[in-house]
Structure formats: C-alpha cells, structure tokens
A and B are shown apart, each in its own frame.
Chain A
C-alpha cells in the first residue's frame, strides 16, 4: 500500500529565504505526483503536477522535482514571502491502484514565512 511522508511537519523561515519541502513515497510505480497548497479552513489549490516521465515542473517561484526511483519529490520555493504561509501537501497516484484518478496524500508541511 502506498504511503506518502512529508518531513518536517512544520517549518518557519524568514522572508526572502529560498526553501525546500520534501515528500517521499514508498511505491515508485506512480502515474504522477501533485503538489497542493492549503490555507487554513480552505480547500486545496493545485500548484504543480509532475507526470512520472518528467523530472521537474516550474511555475513562477515554484519548482517541483521528481526522482521516481528513490521515491522522492521536492518543492522549491524561491524568495519566500509571508503570503506563501500555508500547508503544502503532496500526493501521488499509484499504478497499484489501477488508475491515475486516485491520489494518496501526505499529511503536509505547515510553512510559516516570517516578515
């Protein structure tokens, strides 16, 4: 059964710092990996989706990488801002589930960017 782990559970950084969030998964046979942002009491916002054949995806100050063989992904945030404060979740769709439709989520990293 696929398990997704995100360490650390919480991270606090000063504004302007570049930072990396980590995600690991136990079964490397995946269709894709998705990073989300969740603000308190809100739904999830999709940030980036990386297909299993891709190594990275970029959107603005965000860059997500995927190393499928080692079961790892990182989300790099450049020049962090207080508005980046949120919980970041990664999720994978596993071939063992039989479909790319279903995601297994990590518990997230709660990021606080201090002014």
Chain B
C-alpha cells in the first residue's frame, strides 16, 4: 500500500543534543510537510517542500531545519532541542492533481530530557 512512513515512532533526546527525524513516502507526491503538534493543540506547520522548493513558515524557530534529498525522503533536523520542543512531529504529503489533499504519517513522538 502506498503510504507515508515516519521513523522512529518514538525518539528520546537530551537537552541540546541534535536529533533527526525522517519521513519517507511511496505516494510519489510533489509536496512534503512537517508539522509540530503539542498535546490537545492543532498541528502547526513548520515548513514544506514543493519538489525541491523549500518553504519556511515565518514563525518556525531557526533551531528547526529540513532536508529533502529526493522525492521520497524528507528529514527534520532539530539542532539544539529544548524542553519546549517535546511534541509529536507529523509528516504529510500532497500533490496538485488531488487538490493538495494531505496524507499523514503516523508521527514521531519526541521526548526531551
């Protein structure tokens, strides 16, 4: 089945220790997104790629960066995680031919100790 895959599902890191979350897709969608979701809150868009074109949200902290080496993979790098970065990180994909309907992965739960 075509899908969006996120690894790992659970990640524990130490305060200030860089961490990378990964997302892959078999849908061959042009657009890939990273969202941050804290408990009982709406997902917050961090950035998205349209093909290789990177789009950063204005209020995304500099601490967050992303890489998309090819169509299938996208990475979220958190350079110096703080306690406030503990959250669920969601990856999603979409394509223009489907009205940009977004398909989400299962998420990575990040804990910062």
List the interface of chain A (C-beta within 8 A of B): 4, 31-32, 34, 36, 41-46, 49, 51, 89, 91, 93, 99-103, 105-108
Residue in B42, B50, B90, B94 whose Cβ sees the most chain A Cβ within 10 Å: B42
Instruction: Determine how close the nearest CB of chain B comes to the CB of A108; give it in whole angstroms.
Output: 7
Interface size on B, residues (CB 8 A): 26
Q: Of A32, A44, A45, A103, which contacts B45 at CB under 8 A?
A: A103
Output the nearest chain B residue to A49 by Cβ-Cβ distance: B101
B107 touches A49 (CB 8 A): no
Interface of A is mostly: strand
Q: Which residue of chain B has the shortest Cβ distance to A10 in the bound complex?
A: B40
Contact A34 B101 (CB under 8 A): yes
B75 contacts the other chain (Cβ, under 8 Å)?
no
Q: What is the 8 Å Cβ interface bit string for chain B, positions 50-80, against chain A (1 contact, 0 not)?
A: 1000000000000000000000000000000
Q: Which residue of A lies closest to B45 (CB)?
A: A102
20 pairs, CB–CB < 8 Å, chain A vs chain B: A4-B42, A32-B100, A32-B101, A34-B101, A34-B102, A36-B104, A44-B102, A49-B98, A49-B99, A89-B43, A100-B99, A101-B31, A101-B50, A101-B94, A101-B100, A102-B45, A103-B45, A105-B42, A105-B43, A107-B42
